[in-house]
């Protein structure tokens, strides 16, 4: 392991927790759940006057996302539960970008004003985390904070990936972990939750039923919550995706980030990372435009963006194979919508077929493996590119939140099906449509 990944002190500048909804301030030592005053989301705040590391120091460190420990919420270095999460590569995808630009060229024969669809296309490859998704960043932070307070039993509801990640980090911390999934969660996640020795609780129906079962059992048993936006720490851990992104661009920003949005935890993290580094004087640039990608089967945030609303309306009858974004009632929607509005982002909804095609396109052209949920973002970016949302020189980053192995069966079946149908293109992903 990289020797710089070990450290004796975090020098965390964490000062207090502040409710996103009502502004109530809470003490970092006493509060583990939502805002005691209104039930809103508690957001860790940092004393940026005490933040005195240099960009060079952060850039020099490696090992894990804990290289950014001064702006992470754990005070005791010995409490940190880490498996080298984060420090994931930003992978350029020139062949897929060329395909998109070729398509744009074809269009420009009809419309002489049409330029290249985009400049460079990158995937931030979160599939390379310990349990193969970006969830590891949030759970490393949340389980570390629980560990610091001496917690021995944690619980959460999940679409699957967060449950797998929590099970892994809880195991490493020696904690008991209760994971509430619905029966539709993929076998990989269910199997690995059990492999880590966590307690798997399955519900019929959708994620709301798993959430209800979790709430009831948690109340009865007094478990500590590591649920999305109940713990104040998961979005704060995911903030490190933003730090890495801005670091990779030389403490500057890419033009666009497209994010597969369920609860919006990672998108809010990337937004928060920008705000902190901008306030600290490290970044002068404007923020990247943050684009919300969802599935046409569950698109409450895209609907709210299109309506110019400041919060979503819960989605009736959610249904998509992209289970990570099958979130009908994302409680943090006002915060997501603020981030989109402040950065001149947009919303885009794609259907399951487009998402699967996008995953096959990049796997067959540039080699990168994406799970179906993450591919919602790539399909969204491809759609935005075709619609002329990006400039011909602009850098576009798609967050590949999870690895292809998470949904390998579905991708393989789709590739065989397209081959049998005799795809119009030589590649199983078909034309980059």
Ligand X SMILES: Cc1ncc(COP(=O)(O)O)c(C=O)c1O
**Contact flag: residue 400 with ligand X (CB under 6 A):** no
Part of the chain binding ligand X (CB under 6 A), chosen from 61-69, 80-88, 249-257, 368-376: 368-376
C-alpha to C-alpha distance for 43 and 53, rounded to whole angstroms: 22
- Site residues (CB under 5 A) for Zn ion? 19, 21-22, 24, 35, 37-38, 40
Rounded Cα distance between 433 and 431, Å, is: 5
Q: Is 127 in the site for ligand X (CB under 6 A)?
A: no
Binding window for ligand X (CB under 6 A); candidates: 60-68, 98-106, 166-174, 260-268 = 260-268
Residue 44's alpha-carbon distances to 21, 41, 231, in angstroms, are 13, 10, 10
Residue burial 260-274, b: 16+ Cβ < 10 Å; e: rest = bbbbbbbbbbbbbbb
Q: How far is the CB of 81 from ligand X (least distance, A)?
A: 20
In the complex, minimum distance from the CB of residue 21 to Zn ion, in angstroms, rounded to a whole number: 5
The reply on whether position 159 binds ligand X by CB under 6 A is yes
Residue 371 in the binding site for ligand X (CB under 6 A): yes
DSSP code for 29 = T
63, 157, 237, 262: which one binds ligand X (CB under 6 A): 262
> Rounded to 10 degrees, what is the CA torsion of 172, 178, 183, 185?
-30
Are the C-beta atoms of residues 379 and 329 closer than 8 Å to each other?
A: no
Q: Could you tell me how far CA 14 lies from the centroid of its own chain?
A: 22
- Rounded to an integer, what distance in angstroms lies between the CA atom of residue 134 and that of residue 415? 25
Give yes or no for residue 334 binding ligand X (CB under 6 A): no
Taking CB under 6 A as the criterion, the residue among 266, 318, 334, 429 binding ligand X is: 266
Q: Determine which residue in the list 84, 157, 242, 264 makes contact with ligand X, applying CB under 6 A.
A: 264
Residues binding ligand X: number (CB under 6 A): 18
Nearest approach, Cβ of residue 206 and ligand X (Å):
13
Out of Zn ion, ligand X, none, what residue 63 binds, judged by CB under 5 to 8 A for its kind, is none
- In the complex, least distance from residue 219 CB atom to Zn ion, rounded to whole angstroms: 20
Cβ-in-10-Å burial (0-12, 13-18, 19+) of 362 comes to buried
Among the listed residues 265, 283, 339, 359, the single contact to ligand X using CB under 6 A: 265
- Picked from Zn ion, ligand X, none, the partner binding residue 374 (CB below 5 to 8 A depending on kind) is ligand X
- Closest CB 114 distance from ligand X, rounded Å: 32
Q: Which residue is nearest to ligand X (CB)?
A: 324
Using CA atoms, how far apart are residues 358 and 223, in angstroms rounded to an integer? 40
Query: Given candidates 129, 131, 261, 298, which one binds ligand X under the rule CB under 6 A?
Result: 261
Among residues 326, 319, 330, 336, the alpha carbon closest in space to that of 259 is found at 336
Phi and psi torsions of 63, nearest 5°: 95, -55
Picked from Zn ion, ligand X, none, the partner binding residue 263 (CB below 5 to 8 A depending on kind) is ligand X
Residue 20 or 46 having the CB closest to Zn ion:
20
Rounded CA separation 168/133 (Å): 12
Residue with smaller CB distance to ligand X, 116 or 207? 207
| CA separation for the pair 374, 400 (Å, rounded) | 5
Find the distance separating the first CA and the last CA of the chain, reported in whole Å. 42
- Contact positions toward ligand X, by CB under 6 A? 133, 159, 161-162, 260-266, 324-325, 371, 373-374, 401-402
């Amino acid at each position: 392991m990289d020797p710089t990944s070990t450290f004796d002190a975090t020098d965390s500048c964490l000062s207090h927790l502040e409710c996103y909804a009502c502004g109530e301030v809470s003490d970092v030592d006493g509060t583990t759940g939502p805002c005691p005053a209104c039930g809103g989301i508690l957001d860790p705040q940092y004393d940026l006057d005490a933040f005195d590391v240099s960009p060079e120091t952060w850039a020099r460190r490696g090992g894990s996302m804990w290289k950014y420990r001064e702006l992470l919420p754990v005070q005791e270095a010995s409490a940190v539960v880490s498996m080298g999460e984060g420090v994931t590569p930003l992978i350029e995808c020139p062949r897929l970008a060329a395909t998109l630009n070729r398509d744009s060229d074809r269009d420009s024969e009809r419309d002489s004003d049409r330029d290249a669809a985009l400049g460079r296309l990158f995937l931030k490859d979160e599939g390379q985390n310990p349990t193969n998704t970006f969830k590891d960043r949030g759970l490393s932070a949340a389980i570390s904070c629980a560990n610091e307070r001496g917690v021995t039993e944690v619980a959460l509801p999940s679409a699957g990936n967060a449950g797998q990640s929590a099970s892994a980090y809880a195991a490493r911390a020696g904690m008991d972990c209760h994971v509430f999934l619905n029966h539709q969660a993929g076998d990989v996640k269910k199997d690995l939750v059990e492999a880590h020795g966590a307690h798997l609780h399955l519900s019929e129906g959708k994620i709301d039923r798993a959430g209800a079962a979790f709430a009831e059992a948690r109340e009865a048993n007094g478990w500590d919550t590591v649920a999305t936006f109940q713990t104040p720490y998961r979005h704060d851990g995911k903030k490190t995706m933003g730090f890495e992104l801005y670091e990779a661009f030389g403490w500057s920003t890419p033009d666009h980030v497209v994010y597969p949005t369920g609860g919006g935890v990672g998108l809010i993290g990337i937004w928060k990372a920008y705000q902190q580094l901008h306030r600290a004087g490290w970044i002068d640039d404007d923020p990247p435009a943050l684009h919300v990608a969802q599935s046409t089967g569950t698109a409450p945030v895209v609907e709210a963006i299109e309506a110019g609303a400041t919060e979503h309306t819960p989605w009736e009858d959610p249904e998509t194979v992209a289970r990570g974004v099958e979130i009908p009632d994302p409680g943090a929607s006002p915060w997501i919508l603020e981030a989109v509005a402040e950065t001149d982002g947009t919303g885009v909804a794609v259907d399951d077929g487009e998402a699967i095609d996008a995953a096959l396109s990049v796997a067959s052209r540039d080699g990168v493996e994406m799970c179906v949920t993450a591919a919602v973002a790539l399909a969204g970016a491809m759609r935005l590119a075709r619609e002329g949302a990006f400039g011909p020189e602009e850098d576009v980053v798609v967050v590949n939140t999870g690895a292809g192995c998470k949904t390998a069966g579905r991708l393989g079946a789709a590739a065989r099906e397209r081959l049998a149908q005799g795809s119009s293109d030589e590649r199983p992903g078909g034309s980059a449509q």
